A = this chain, B = another copy of it.
Amino acid sequence: MSATADATEFSLESLGRVPLQGRSKASLERMLATARTLMLERGNEDFTLQEVSSRGKVSIGSIYLRFENKDSLVRAVLYQATQTLAEQEDAMLAELAASCATLQEFVPRYVEAYAEVLRHNAPLLRLTMMRAEHDPPISLLGKRTANNAEAKAVAAFMAYRGDFAVPDPEVCAKAAHHIIFATLARELSLGSSSESVTNYDWNVLKRELARMCAAYFQAS
């Protein structure tokens, strides 16, 4: 299942207006990059189109030529970020699949690797999740992305089906993925600037999460 599976529905073309080439494309990329930079700098969507215009060397008119309104621009940035996250998940899972022989080896490395992927993408992921609360298109994007991530994670676990002691490995793998994602995301505050919101030790958390999953999978 590819990270770009939903490209048609959520493509820039669907969020923006037209396929572009050359100068126009470069200009579109400057808009997106500038908007993303501003969102990362401020941790929210409170940038102005004037700022995008001046910092990104794009005219206000150009922005409205590509995007229906400001929301549309923000959505495009979040869509790109979501794509990136999915691609990194894919790569991470592919690498682990190639290098882990057993479930016992896989579980802690998965927690560790997933934690780093999420940490890296946390700021925009957090904005995506916040926006999903009141923005149906982003909510839909979030659900699809989450479902894809779940499917991919479960498939990765199932490669080690024989190592599960429980009678229902799919159910457990699915639950484990949910729990791992939720815990890591929460501890990252999904974007908290510097320090964690809680002070719970990040390494301890990863270790115990792995330990908990291992016990869960081995319970008879």
Contacts A133-B189, A183-B183, A208-B171; A200 near B178 (Cβ below 8 A): yes
Task: Give chain B residues whose Cβ lies under 8 Å from the Cβ of A186.
Answer: 178, 181-182, 185-186
Task: Give chain B residues whose Cβ lies under 8 Å from the Cβ of A16.
Answer: none
A1: interface (CB < 8 Å): no
A168-220 contacts to B, CB under 8 A, are: 171-172, 174-176, 178-179, 181-183, 185-187, 189, 191-193, 197-200, 204-205, 208-209, 211-216, 218-219
Contacts A211-B219, A212-B212, A212-B213; A129 near B197 (Cβ below 8 A): yes
Task: State in angstroms the CA–CA spacing of A12 and B177 once bound together.
Answer: 41
Task: State in angstroms the CA–CA spacing of A183 and B198 once bound together.
Answer: 15
Task: Give chain B residues whose Cβ lies under 8 Å from the Cβ of A185.
Answer: 182, 186
Task: State in angstroms the CA–CA spacing of A174 and B199 once bound together.
Answer: 12
A133-183 contacts to B, CB under 8 A, are: 133-134, 139, 142-143, 146-147, 150, 171-172, 174-176, 178-179, 181-183
A132: interface (CB < 8 Å): yes
Contacts A197-B129, A199-B147, A218-B219; A209 near B179 (Cβ below 8 A): yes
A7: interface (CB < 8 Å): no
Whether B216 pairs with A133 at a CB distance below 8 angstroms is: no
A44: interface (CB < 8 Å): yes
Task: State in angstroms the CA–CA spacing of A114 and B198 once bound together.
Answer: 19
* A contacts, CB < 8 Å to B: 43-44, 126, 129-130, 132-134, 139, 142-143, 146-147, 150, 171-172, 174-176, 178-179, 181-183, 185-187, 189, 191-193, 197-200, 204-205, 208-209, 211-216, 218-219
Name the residue on B nearest A189 (C-beta): B133
Residue in contact with A43 in the complex, picked from B129, B134, B214, CB distance below 8 Å = B134
Contacts A134-B43, A185-B182, A197-B143; A216 near B211 (Cβ below 8 A): yes
